[in-house]
Amino acid sequence: MSKAPAPAEAARIILSRVTLLPAVQSSLRELPGRILRQDVQAERDNPPFDRVCMDGVAIDSRAFASGIRRFRIQATQAAGAVPLTIAGLDSAVEIMTGAVLPHGADCVIPLEEYDLDGDGLQLKPEATAEPWRNLQRRGSDSSPDPDADRGDESRGGGSGGGGICGPRPGAGQPPAPHHGDFHW
């Protein structure tokens, strides 16, 4: 009776007998269940900015670390608005989910952790403020580093979309004629 090969040897034997089908170009709608035949790379960071993940106030966490618990509300910044700049350590910007983080801020305190008081706010005793709290950092979903590699199965419907990814430059393939068309 012969001994079964080690897993790595078994995989090599199986793969040596696999016929590689020709690559085909497909649109994003046709992706689910196909196996990627080329490396894919994001063309830009996603999200393209430090994104606020909940309604609240944006502050510089150093203010909290230095003991400041009352902040002056300098302005309100909606999602889609040009980012403001925090005026000082005792200043806060009311901020909405999806907004760009204001310059000088590195933390978002949620609505539940402060009380409004005239033109300012008072943090509740349970409030916390660490750098990057309630924020999604620029490029944390994808960046111009590889997102998907040959051999990955597409499940469709993922983030990225046709406008932000394409073949990895130098992957041995000419660039795809359109973003969102991949070789499978």
Q: Where are the domains of the chain?
A: 20-44+141-184, 51-136
Round to whole Å and give the CA distance between 131 and 105. 9
**What's this model's pTM, rounded to 2 decimal places?**
0.62
Specify the pairing of strand 70-77 against strand 165-167.
unpaired
Q: Which residue has the higher pLDDT, 40 or 169?
A: 40
CATH of 51-136, one of 2.170.190.11, 3.40.50.740, 1.10.1270.20, 2.60.260.20: 2.170.190.11
Q: What is the pLDDT of residues 13-66, one digit of tens each?
A: 998 998 877 777 878 788 787 777 776 677 888 889 999 999 999 999 999 999
Round to whole Å and give the CA distance between 86 and 84. 7
